[in-house]
Amino acid sequence: MRQNAVQAALVLQEVNDMDYILASKSPRRKELLHFIIPSFQTIDANFDEREVHISKPDELCLELAKNKALSVYKRYPTSCVIGSDTMVASDGKLLGKPHSREEAYDMLASLSGKTHSVFTGVFIASPNYKDGFVCETLVHFIPLTDQMICDYIDTDEPYDKAGGYSIQGGASKFCDQLIGDYYNVMGLPVSALYQKLRELQFI
C-alpha cells in the first residue's frame, strides 16, 4: 500500500512539474488558455494540414488537433502539449478560412439566416496521457443583406477565421442564437478543457 502511495505521489509530482505548451500561434487560443493555465509556451505546429483527408468535420478537426499536438510533443516529450483545431460546417459543407474576398462573401452568404455547427477538436499529449475530444456549438445567423456582408468582408476579420467570421468581433451582430460553448466558436472550449485537465490532475 505504501509503495503504491509513493508511486502515485511521484506521478503527481511529475504532472505538477510538467511544462505546458499550446501547439498554436493563434492569439485567440492563447488568450483562452490563459483562463485555465497561467503560464505556458506557444509553439507553432510544424504540420501540413493538407495531408489529412477526412470528410466528417468532427473527425477532421480532432485528427488535425492530434497531429498538431503530436508534432510538437515529439520535440518536447516531457511536456503537456495541447493541440486544437476548429471547423465550421453548414449544409454538409466544410468552411475553412477564406482565401479571397469572393470566397469570404460566399461563405457568409451560405450562413445567412441559418443555423450552422462549429466543431473544435482538442488533443492532449503528455508522457502519461494522449487523447482528445470534440465540442460542437450551434450558431444561428440572422438574414444578411448584400451590404451587410460587403461591409464585413471589407474588414480584416474574415480572412484568418474558419467560416469567414469572428464571433467575438464584428460578426457578433450577425449571431442571434447560440447553443453550446461560446468560447468553442472562438477556437477553444474552455470549460471542457478545464474539466479534462482537472480530471487528469494536470491542474
Residue appearing with cell numbers 469570404: 104
Which of 87, 64, 84 has its CA nearest to residue 24?
A: 84
Bridge partners (DSSP) of residue 130 are 125
User: What residues contact 11, with CB distance under 8 A and at least 6 apart?
Assistant: 128
Bridge partners (DSSP) of residue 142 are none
C-alpha to C-alpha distances, 92 to 44, 116, 137, 175, 195, nearest whole angstrom: 30, 10, 15, 20, 30
pLDDT(12) > 80: no
Q: What is the DSSP letter of 83?
A: E
Tell me the three state secondary structure of residue 74: coil
Which residues are tagged catalytic?
Answer: 85
Q: Which cell goes with 43?
A: 509553439
Q: What is the pLDDT of residues 139-192, one digit of tens each?
A: 999 999 999 999 999 999 999 899 999 999 999 999 999 999 999 999 999 999
* Mean pLDDT, rounded, of the chain: 91
Query: pTM for the whole thing?
Result: 0.88
At 9, the pLDDT band (50, 70, 90 cuts) reads very low
Write down the domain spans for the chain. Answer: 2-199
Under 8 Å between Cβ of 134 and 75:
no
Phi, psi of 101 (to 5 degrees): -60, -40
Residue 75 CA to residue 115 CA, distance in Å, equals 40
Q: Which cell goes with 82?
A: 495541447
Q: What is the pLDDT of residues 116-146, one digit of tens each?
A: 999 999 999 999 999 999 999 999 999 999 9
CATH number of the domain at 2-199, please?
3.90.950.10
